[in-house]
Amino acid sequence: MTDDQLLSQLLQKALPSVDAPRPPADLWPVVVQRAAAHEKVSAADLGVAAIIATMLLMFPQWFWFLAYHL
Amino acid sequence: MPDGLDGERLERFVHGDQAAFESLFRQFEHEVYRWIVRIVRDRAAADDVLVEAFWRAYRGRARFDPSRSFGAWMRRIATNAALDHLRAARAHAGWRSADDTMPAPAGPDQALHESIAQAFRRLPPKLQVVATLALVEEQPYAEIADALDLPIGTIKSRVFRATRLLRKELARLGITP
């Protein structure tokens, strides 16, 4: 047996495989929730966008300042 | 089609059809889950990584080529999600929690096995993933290369580096395989 095979055997004993042929629960609803949460635009996002748009209308010279910081 | 899937279903998935996505999820979740468990070796973490992987697939659906294998594409995404999980776990909780997720081996060699497992967990995550798949799970290099979207030469080099680091660490602990 080569050194690599010995090391491999040692690792297999130290890191036994986890017997889990399938997820313990239906994870599809969690995937859907995750997708919905990312697709929804929050009120906070809309608020920030509105503030930035207002500021740019009032002070157009701030464009580069905002572009640098956002 | 490489997975025996109908192209129309894959096209619908690419265009954001949720029913097509659900049917692909149902068909591939067990296979992807088993792959993830092999890498993270922890059931609870595997649930999170599975959700993350399918979410990433949905988010990146426009980049999927329906003439290619969905299973292979999904496995690549899952491998990267598992790698990110290992990185985050390492950065967030250090070694202690990584050890907590390991099933404790029983018997007189328990201390030895725990030391080896600890040494293994000290590997950088990208080497740990490759070493898990190559040395523990004995997956062919070509399959690992495909799952990580890397050339076989890179996989061989990572296995070599992982082996060298492990031997060094084990020697430090007085273990010589």
Cα torsion B130, B134, B135, B139: sign: positive
Rg of the Cα trace of chain A? 27
Chain A residues contacting B via beta carbons under 8 Å: 3-4, 6-8, 10-18, 20-25, 27-28, 30-32, 34-35, 38
Neighbours of B124 (CB within 10 A): 14
Token reading at B12: 């619908």
CA B69, CA B85: separation in Å to the nearest integer? Answer: 24
Band of residue B102 on the pLDDT scale cut at 50, 70, 90: low
Cα torsion B115, B121, B123, B127: sign: positive
pLDDT at B149: 93
Q: Which amino acid is at A37?
A: A
Residue of B nearest to A18 (CA): B41
- Could you say which DSSP state residue B61 is in? G
Judged by CB atoms closer than 8 Å, whether chains meet at B37 and A8 is answered as: no
pLDDT at B21: 95
Domain borders along chain A are 46-70
ipTM of this complex: 0.77
Kindly report the pTM of this predicted structure: 0.79
Q: CB neighbours of A21 closer than 8 A, spacing ≥ 6?
A: B30, B34
What is the pLDDT averaged over residues B151-160? 96
Percent of chain B with pLDDT over 70: 89
pLDDT of residue A40 exceeding 60: yes
Neighbours of A27 (CB within 10 A): 18
Q: CB neighbours of B84 closer than 8 A, spacing ≥ 6?
A: B52
pLDDT at B1: 59
pLDDT of residue B95 exceeding 60: no
C-alpha A7: how far from chain center: 36
Judged by CB atoms closer than 8 Å, whether chains meet at B116 and A14 is answered as: yes
Please tell me the distance in Å from B149's CA to the nearest CA on chain A: 24
Judged by CB atoms closer than 8 Å, whether chains meet at B43 and A20 is answered as: yes
Judged by CB atoms closer than 8 Å, whether chains meet at A34 and B51 is answered as: yes
